[in-house]
């Protein structure tokens, strides 16, 4: 069986944030429903082993002029809840997920590059059967966070079920991507990835600013790993996990309210609203 990667991404850059508007409580905290694991319980180094260490229950990976680092889940999944608490380092840091060109599916949480005085941009993205030939269709929604991600650990997660993808920050749903057709939704088994590498050719304002290695090494810390759900070889009766108290997975009224609030106050880009995009390639935006 061929597996294709689910990607949990990190891209780090400098920040000074003054946005103090916090979202309303979602009223439900899905991260509390899933058991935490240590890094070695569920993950292995994928590349850059000399730029990765584990101590005090936290994984640190870093980038310098010689290399970055990445890791991968031991198991592939066909649905589940995938998250980690992450703390970023302020500085000129640019990174992204490990590249996996090919006919693959991909679901991303990533921090895009920025410059001093500007807030971090958290990007969520979905690729369906993308390729490495430059014709990848991104489905980006971007947010300016309501906190400084360099000060403390915050929990970032993606819940993937056969019906929808839900992106969460500190248990607040920020985006729901429903399955409208098999052509626009990832259905094949995927792994979880995390990494840090130099993506400055495109990441910071479309490649305008490059990584400044005078400030190396650039680090990210991970802890509170969670990866729970139906593995690629789980029996057919394995029930998809839920982001809400409902077994159906439907978000509660309070969760929907919190998500609408975030999108009203912190959403800075929505691919479905971009007039420059060819929306014949993104039929999920129609209507």
Q: Which residues are catalytic?
A: 106, 110
Contacts of residue 95, Cβ cutoff 8 Å, sequence gap at least 6: 10, 11, 12, 63, 68, 195, 196, 197, 198, 199, 218, 220
How many whole angstroms separate alpha carbon 186 and alpha carbon 177?
Answer: 11
Write out the DSSP string of 27-91: S--GGGGS--B-HHHHEEEEE-GGGEEEETTEEEEEE-SS--EEEEESS-EEEEEEEEEEEEPPS
- Does residue 246 sit in helix, strand or coil? coil
Q: Provide the CA 210 distance to its chain's centre, in angstroms.
A: 22
Neighbour count for residue 123 (Cβ, 10 Å):
21
How many whole angstroms separate alpha carbon 287 and alpha carbon 246?
Answer: 27
Task: Please tell me whether the peptide bond between 37 and the residue prior to it is cis, using omega within 30 degrees of 0.
Answer: no
How many whole angstroms separate alpha carbon 175 and alpha carbon 107?
Answer: 12
The answer to whether residues 145 and 122 touch, using CB atoms and an 8 Å cutoff, is yes
How many whole angstroms separate alpha carbon 11 and alpha carbon 142?
Answer: 13
Burial of 122 (C-beta count, 10 Å sphere; 0-12/13-18/19+): buried
């Amino acid at each position: 069986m061929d597996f294709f990667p689910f990607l949990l991404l990190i891209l780090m850059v400098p920040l000074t944030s003054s946005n103090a508007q916090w979202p309303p409580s979602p009223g439900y905290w899905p991260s509390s429903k899933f058991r935490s694991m240590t890094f070695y319980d569920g993950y292995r180094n994928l590349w850059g082993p000399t730029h990765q260490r584990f101590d005090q229950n936290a994984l640190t990976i870093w980038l310098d002029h010689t290399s970055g680092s990445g890791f991968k889940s031991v198991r592939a999944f066909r649905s589940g809840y995938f998250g980690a608490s992450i703390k970023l380092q302020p500085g000129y840091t640019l990174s992204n997920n490990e590249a996996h060109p090919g006919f693959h599916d991909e679901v991303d949480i990533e921090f895009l590059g920025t410059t001093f005085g500007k807030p971090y941009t958290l990007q969520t993205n979905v690729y369906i059967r993308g390729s490495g030939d430059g014709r990848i269709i991104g489905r980006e929604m971007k947010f300016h966070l309501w906190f400084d991600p360099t000060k403390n650990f915050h929990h970032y997660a993606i819940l993937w079920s056969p019906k929808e993808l839900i992106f969460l920050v500190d248990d607040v749903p920020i985006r729901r991507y429903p399955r409208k057709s098999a052509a626009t939704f990832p259905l094949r088994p995927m792994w979880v990835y995390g990494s840090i590498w130099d993506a400055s050719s495109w990441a910071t304002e479309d490649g305008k600013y490059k990584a400044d290695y005078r400030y190396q090494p650039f680090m990210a810390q991970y802890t509170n790993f969670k990866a729970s759900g139906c593995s690629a070889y789980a029996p057919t009766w394995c029930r998809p996990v839920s982001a809400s108290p409902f077994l159906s997975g439907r978000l509660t009224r309070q969760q929907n309210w919190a998500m609408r609030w975030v999108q009203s106050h912190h959403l800075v880009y929505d691919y479905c609203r971009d007039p420059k995009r060819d929306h014949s390639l993104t039929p999920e935006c129609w209507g």
